[in-house]
Amino acid sequence: MDTTLQDPLVGRLLDGRYRVDARIAVGGMATVYRAVDTRLDRVLALKVMHPTLAADVSFVERFIREAKSVARLAHPNVVQVFDQGADGSYVYLAMEYVSGCTLRDVLRERGALQPRAALDILEPVLAALGAAHRAGFVHRDMKPENVLIGDDGRVKVADFGLVRSVDTVTQTTGSVLGTVSYLAPEQIEHGSADPRVDVYACGVVLYEMLTGGKPHTGESPAQVLYRHVHEDVPPPSAAVPGLAYELDELVAAATARMPEIRPYDAVALLARVRESRAALGAEQLDAVPPQAVTAQHDNADDRTSVIPRALTALRQLPVNEDDDESRYHRTSRLESPPLDTPRRSPRPRRTVVTLVAAVLLALGLGLGVWYINSGQFTEVPPLLAKTEAQAEDRLADAGLEVGQVRHAYSDTVRRGTVISTDPAPGARIRHNDSVTLTVSDGPETVKVPDVAGHRLDKARDLLQGSGLEPGMVTREFSEDVPRGSVISSNPATGTTTRAGTAIALTVSKGAPVDIPDVTGGDPAEARQELQEAGLKVRVATQRINSEHEAGRVARQNPGPGGEAAEGDTVTLTLSKGPEMIEVPDVVGDGVGEAKQKLQGAGFEVEEDRGLLGLFGDTVRDQSVQGGETAPKGSTITLKIR
């Protein structure tokens, strides 16, 4: 079921220009839609503020002001802002539409990434943030949800909705805007935000990419915030043994609790990332994380929200299940009382019972209507990356049943876990209905067939028949394998690999043949000599000027002295004789000036001084008179007197 059909904006023409086609995502501040600009006929993303926030005039003014600032930030890794406006209670931004997925989607499906992949994503993110920092902006809400990965592989940073100018960052009171899991300690304690809060968030994101999980977790947002302030981010290698020490150092530098110790902005962190990458070998960069690190993700703390900032004296929260104060902090607040606040005595049980009864009485009047309208429906829970048994348990908890279980190969989803569901996660469905699961059988694997000795076209057919793809072809000389036949494959014969893998082939050029030198010779004789060497001959249609007589071989390709394969073709270009050019008249000129004229025209120059010209400096005669023609490159002799 398509839940976007229930969205009042879907299908509407916003501001007389933007046709809203589908809802893409819902965040803590706004909803994002795929829309069409009917004036320019292009697809774009429309970010519409939630009506509750749109009613706050000061918030809207800041939203508009900051959107205009970000629109001036032109960078290939930043999602561009095209337009801003309002239609009634709807305040919106028109932005670049990126077809693809978010980093959160990747982490949810794959869990921990290889270090090379993590750095490949982090570098363009830091490039985008670096451009913002150098332009005077701080993002303030970096997280995997705001990293878009296009179908073409390009990485872009989105949602600069909380951006503010560096020079306007001040300590605030009351609340903090942001996402709990990625807030820097100084944001939590003082509400301050400079480029180093983005550096901290990127360090947390890097940790999450390397391990598949967040560094700080807790039963409530307040516990997560407490840990950001009072506990260091652990080294990724503690969760994924074998990760390189340089990656631990990189995460530690970016997530230092004291902002003065962190790189001062994203540009500085990008330099550190590139230094770390250069220090890692291919084996360290391509280390495969253990399957056990696959993320079991919950979106509860990933939404941007308004967080009360009564956290200047955070303390560890109690976990005693019988402690009313403990339950109060875990379930209803994001702040903890100051250290010197006296501990309140537990409330009498009668008070709690009376309160519950009053609430139930107040809700009872509307309960029947609620059940009729929506109580008979539920939503399909998130099941992606769950095992079949886990998915069945979750569906049972939601009052749903497992319908058909299908299987499919997958290169990205771990064997035995859910690839997709029908209906999709989040879809509205009746109680007791069934959900169809598609479970991964892992990547399809095949063995590389033996293609050695086969002609290239036959080898390609064998590979495709085995579910593989013919890859790059390299040609080498071989004394043993006939020309045009396969010498070897990579991966080698018998290797088990994923279906669809490209197999590189090495094809024989045959035994090497020494190429004789036939330049200057008669074309017929040159042809015979080359053919006797096992080579084919082609004569170029156009001739060129050369030092050789007209009709002789002026040039050959490949040149003499090299090696070719038997049956290769040598192209001969014939001479049309030397180029004839006019000789300058230099009689009466000084020797230096005469040489300059002749050499500039393309001639060689010799001097004939005789006994009388030993000390002379004037040209008395020249071997070819001025105005006559001579072959370009030929020698003109000057008589000096």
List residues with catalytic annotation.
141
Q: Which residue shows structure tokens 């994002």?
A: 32
Q: Which residue shows structure tokens 């006939």?
A: 482
Contact indicator for 94, 46 with CB cutoff of 8 Å: yes
The Cβ of residue 507 has, within 10 Å, a number of other Cβ atoms equal to 19
Closest to 134 in 3D by CA, of 78, 176, 82 = 78
Task: Take residue 371 and report the two structure tokens written for it.
Answer: 């059940």
Dihedral sign computed on CA atoms, order 214, 215, 218, 222? negative
Burial of 87 (0-12, 13-18, 19+ CB in 10 A): middle
Contact indicator for 148, 79 with CB cutoff of 8 Å: yes
Burial of 211 (0-12, 13-18, 19+ CB in 10 A): buried
- CA-angle at 592, arms to 589 and 593, nearest 5°: 50
> CA-CA distance, 165 to 163, in Å (whole number)?
7
Find the Cα–Cα–Cα–Cα dihedral 403, 405, 411, 415, rounded to 10°. 110
> CA-CA distance, 427 to 3, in Å (whole number)?
6
The Cβ of residue 548 has, within 10 Å, a number of other Cβ atoms equal to 19
Pairing of strands 401-408, 434-440: parallel
Contact indicator for 46, 93 with CB cutoff of 8 Å: yes
The secondary structure of the chain in percent helix, strand, coil, rounded to multiples of 5, reads: 35, 25, 40
Give CB contacts under 8 A, 24+ apart, made by 265-268: 265/129, 265/130, 265/133, 265/134, 265/195, 265/196, 265/198, 265/199, 266/126, 266/127, 266/128, 266/129, 266/130, 266/132, 266/133, 266/195, 266/198, 266/199, 266/202, 267/126, 267/130, 267/133, 267/134, 268/199
The Cβ of residue 258 has, within 10 Å, a number of other Cβ atoms equal to 9
> CA-CA distance, 602 to 621, in Å (whole number)?
19
Angstrom CA distances, 503 to 27, 181, 481, 509, stand at: 44, 43, 19, 19
| Conformation bin of residue 213: beta by default, left when phi > 0, alpha when psi is -120 to 50 | beta
Closest to 26 in 3D by CA, of 1, 42, 13, 9 = 9
Radius of gyration of the chain (CA): 38
Type of residue found at 542: Q
> CA-CA distance, 97 to 81, in Å (whole number)?
10
- Residue 590 is classified by DSSP as B
Contact indicator for 561, 510 with CB cutoff of 8 Å: no
Contact indicator for 569, 535 with CB cutoff of 8 Å: yes
Task: Take residue 103 and report the two structure tokens written for it.
Answer: 């980093």
Find the Cα–Cα–Cα–Cα dihedral 515, 519, 524, 525, rounded to 10°. -70
